[in-house]
Amino acid sequence: MNLKIGVLVPRSDMFPTLGLDLMNGLKLAFKNSGPEGINPNFMVEGIGNAVDAGLLKTAEKFILQEDVAITIAFCGFNQLTELVAIFNNYKKPLICLDLGGVVLNKDQISPYVLHHTLNIWQSAYAAGRYAAKEYGKKGSVIASMYDGGYHISAAFVEGFVNGGGTIASYYVSPMDYKSESFEDMVTGLREADPEVVFALFSFKEGQKVFDVLAKSDLNGTIPILAIPLMTDESINKEDLQIKNVKSIATWAFDDEYETMQNFVANYTEAYEDAPNIIGLLGFEAGLTISNCISSEGTIPSKLLDTLQNKPIDTPRGKLQYNILNESQVGAFKIRKFQYNKTKYHNTVIDTMDALFSETLYETFENLPNPAWQNPYICT
């Protein structure tokens, strides 16, 4: 039985093969865990940076003209409420994919829509709590104008202050980071003398910041808690000589959890390349759809009704959807960033209970809209 699935794919400089990675994960999930007799037929459309009305038109076309059983899409913050409204009005199922850089609000809730994220901002809050408990009460924040334009920094600060901490200094890099020496950043950290630094950078800018810090007298003297995209092993290919760096995330490709090990092994065998976080998102979206397919080979409009009290075993652990229909796992992973002979690893050294995450929406419900409207990190 054929199952028509619409997929709206953005582009990303950090993940230039985002569309392929996403589809690889989706296809692998159906191959390994899809119901017998179901043949997924993917209809894929590019949507640029996922921030304009073309996204909404294509989504509506999938519903009215292509009659897809379900749609999977990335979507910018300014378009998200409208996109949810379209699927709510037509009573059609949608899975919104996102890394989780922005706090959802109540206008973006629908019984027909699931928000599948990697919970980046919740992880940042957990990092703030962890930093105040493990390192001390005096912290500094260094951030990119790009990565700092979402809700990640606000979540870290709230977690750190909630744990009794105080932010001693902030640094935000200029938009043209390529010509920035980052000397002011290093000088500011020396003057502030924090007990911990929270770093919000990614991709090439993140590598440059690590390089500057590694060559400074601060290397290894102040613990750095970086966002997980800054320590992404698919981006950082060479030894940066940076010391004393950790990150907190809901995933770790080096995790000993059997489902993660099987995912990495199966993905690598199938595509002759290690998975990245986009492939992980695609794989988990595929698992979610597989768990919703009825014995008749159909997908119910209200996905959450099917998934109530039905945890999904994913590479990140047992996954459920919470009160805002956002994916949530049971633990945050505290990861040590280290180079081991040939490549970087994010080695899990401890975990934190993540069940408190569901209570954070109320804490952050009055946050202003993010400065950047594109999905993190679709640029």
Q: What are the extents of the domains in the chain?
A: 2-119+255-329, 121-249+351-363
Tens digit of pLDDT for each residue in 178-201? 999 999 999 999 999 999 999 999
Average pLDDT over residues 252-268: 97
* pLDDT, greater one: 329 or 13: 329
* Same fold across 2-119+255-329 and 121-249+351-363: yes
What residues contact 100, with CB distance under 8 A and at least 6 apart? 117, 118, 119, 120, 121, 122, 123, 326, 376
In the chain the first and final C-alpha atoms are separated, in Å, by: 37
The pTM assigned to this predicted structure is 0.96
Name the token pair of 134.
């493990």
Q: Is 310 exposed, middle or buried (0-12, 13-18, 19+ CB in 10 A)?
A: exposed
Quote the CA–CA distance of 307 and 193 in Å, as a whole number: 48
pLDDT digits (tens, 9 = 90+) for 275-321: 999 999 999 999 999 999 998 899 999 999 999 888 999 999 999 99
Query: For the structural domain made of 121-249+351-363, what CATH number should be given?
Result: 3.40.50.2300
CB 249, CB 230: distance < 8 Å: no
> From the CB of residue 265, how many other CB atoms can be counted at a distance below 10 Å?
10
Q: Is the dihedral of CA 34, 291, 310, 252 positive or negative?
A: positive
User: pLDDT at residue 161 above 90?
Assistant: yes
- Architecture of the domain spanning 2-119+255-329: 3-Layer(aba) Sandwich (3.40)
Which residues does residue 288 pair with via DSSP β-bridges, in sequence order?
none
Rounded to whole angstroms, the Cα distance separating 283 from 285 reads: 5
